[in-house]
Structure 1
Amino acid sequence: MTCRGLIISAPASGAGKTTIMLGLLSALRARGLTVQPFKNGPDYIDPAFHAVASGRSSLNLDSWAMSREQLAGLIGSHTDVDLMIAEGSMGLFDGVASKGETGNGASADLAVLTGWPVVLVLDVSGQAQSAAAIAHGFATFSPKVRLAGVILNRVASPRHEALIRKGMAEAGLRVLGALPRRQSMALPERHLGLVQAEEQPQLVALLGELGEFISTHVDLEQIHTLASGTLGHDASPVAIAPPGQRIALARDAAFSFIYPHLLEGWRRAGAEISLFSPLADETPDPDADACWLPGGYPELHAGRLAAAAHFLEGLRRFAANKPVHGECGGYMAMGAGLIDAQGTRHEMAGLLGLETSFGTRRMHLGYRLATLLAPIPGYETGQHLRGHEFHYATIVQQPDDKLACAVDANGASVTEAGSRRGLATGTFFHLIAPAT
């Protein structure tokens, strides 16, 4: 028996993949089907929306950062479902220039590995029969990637839809749905992507409405029937080393960017996770073996964090005897100070001498392959780690010892690879998986 699934992809970002993915999850769930969602690539926001829509944790699958065994293990450990649906990233064949563990990170890599056919989302604004030429190109570009059909998005009128369907029929392509323009369905965004799921109190109602919209305009029976795959159920999850037996994990609106497969792997290894909220002025569990501060949006809550005296003092006490590691936003909160977009400096924990600023935004984006120069919780000196960096903060000063040497996906050296002081360590890149 194989893992039956589909991949929702598109020619480019902005075509409506996430909206359609969420609508499909909601609509299929409403019909009583159990659907396991996945996200291709290093995205920590979309999976949270997938989880609300499907009722199941959504996991990232990344061919650049994960080995074939890791990918197969993640998929094979979630087979108690009616079907699987993965949301692609960027365009179907878009990835980095060089190969990583299994591929270059493109959604097409995942299609080849799993045998899942692709549903191509097309933004048909401003075109008619020409949309078929685009879809035909994607259908024939790689013989290893199968196109199940297309969903037409942002259709202007019944006449517009008829013209596009005519072109698709002539190209021998299946139309699985046609969605009329509907601006009210847009999800709010900010600088790193969608506003987080937990910050949207009306999300459940919106997803219900989105599911009804998809049910009306997409052939769900065909979607279910077309799901297939070549990957078997027998793959076992690859072990993930936890930071400790008991882990104090920051979790709130300022610190929520951690990949679900890591949490799942830590728990599978027998670790206990003790959550605490810095924004609620809570401290890490003093009985924990290690503290982990994930990324998020500390810059949006810098004033509250600076005023959370109980949290800051508790974190300092913890770091005096036990390891604390921060990623991106967590790294910034461990520093001496954070300057917000208005130019106001906020005092942070001071575990590191790092000073960061959002006064002048500059995007830092890309895969990272790092070699540790000192241990972090769960990994020893010399360990190679694969991760991803995405932030707009700039470093004002970083006086501490260097934590790692890092290169990007093309092998070019990355100047900033984290810092360390005592038992405190931090990086701007988010860990995805150890390199094999």
Structure 2
Amino acid sequence: MSSAFLTDRYELTMLAASLRDGTAARPSVFELFSRRLSGGRRFGVVAGTGRLLSLLREFHFGDDELRFLRDNDVVDAEALRYLENYRFTGSIRGYREGELYFPGSPILTVEGTFADAVVLETIALSVLNHDSAVATAASRMSIAAGDRPLAEMGSRRAAEQSAVAAARAAYIAGFGATSNLEAGRRWGIPTMGTAAHSWTLLHDSEEDAFRAQVESLGVETTLLVDTYDIRTGVETAIRVAGTRLGGVRLDSGDLPIVAGEVRAHLDELGATETRITVTSDLDEYAIAALAASPVDSYGVGTSVVTGSGYPTAGMVYKLVARQDAAAGWVAVAKASADKGSKGGRKSAFRSIQDGVAVSETISVADGFEQVHATSDHPGSRALQVTLVDNGDIDASYEGASGTASAREHHLRVREELPVRALALSKSDPAIPTVFVDVA
């Protein structure tokens, strides 16, 4: 199935015009970056790279796509001939999935002809804006949760494919499981889930519902105890399952108070090892408020799949360097007051002191003379890797293994954050972005 129509019309009309005026073949450098961090957050998390690379494999124009373009007079005959054989043959460097980013970070650098690279704008932004917004929110929730496990359960609060993507992004950023089966199948994410309130309401009594669930799933299951009276629900759960019951779930009420009462009641009944899971419209602030409560794990739905109030990361895709008519490289950039950008091809390094990140250093050059090396940046970590080399996509970043690797990378680099980055309040980015021009 082609992914080429996951795009905006103006990319193809620009391509057609560039073929007509002879600029289509100009070597160009596009950059995907964010001017600022959404919501006054202190860091961002890159997510979606593996998904983007998989979509790039399918980015071609088949008979159906070409017929639509022709029938709707979107592009001319010359452009149709070009698109008939289109495959991305350029190169892409970028931050590893799971990496942290800050304002101005060159998250993706797309190099190729203008025609090669311009058509990737929408699909790149669509994937990374959504997934990075979810991952950034999820990482904040993971930090707030500490050692307590988090499960993503927001599929019913998002479009069907967005839900699958959100589950993956949340897992990369620290969640341990998802309720979404497609995410489990596609990317090897652990899945979880037992029963909803409808299960209890289906039966003639709460005890009948609990007994049937235990008989089906075993005593290690988690019983939802707040369909009716919570105290009675806890007593019924332990009477049915015994003191070896795996867990109870709370989905309503003043959770810090209710969790304390339920913990005390479980202990009185001898179920000292029975775990308490809380759900009920949690976000990072609610999770932080439960830090002192006797809660064992969290289930998060709406907030995580919607970026906890910021459903896009605000990234943009801009031309930053190109060859001129004399084959010389020039830096280019938009110069408007509120949407300006920094032209030039860039390399990115994170400066580290005593294991703690202190700045994002971005070296800038007009063209391809810039070298991706750390020799000029002692004490720094290079942030960019090659994702696509002359059209050859690195498969190691895709699939279940790529997802697991992104998760491991995120949890590792998150340890570099300064303490001030862990606060949930709105503030400036945790570290500054410093641009250094290469002579």
TM-score grouping bracket, smaller chain normalisation? under 0.3
Structure having the higher helix fraction is: 2
Structure scoring higher RCO (CA < 8 A, sep ≥ 6) equals 2
Bigger Rg, structure 1 or 2: 2
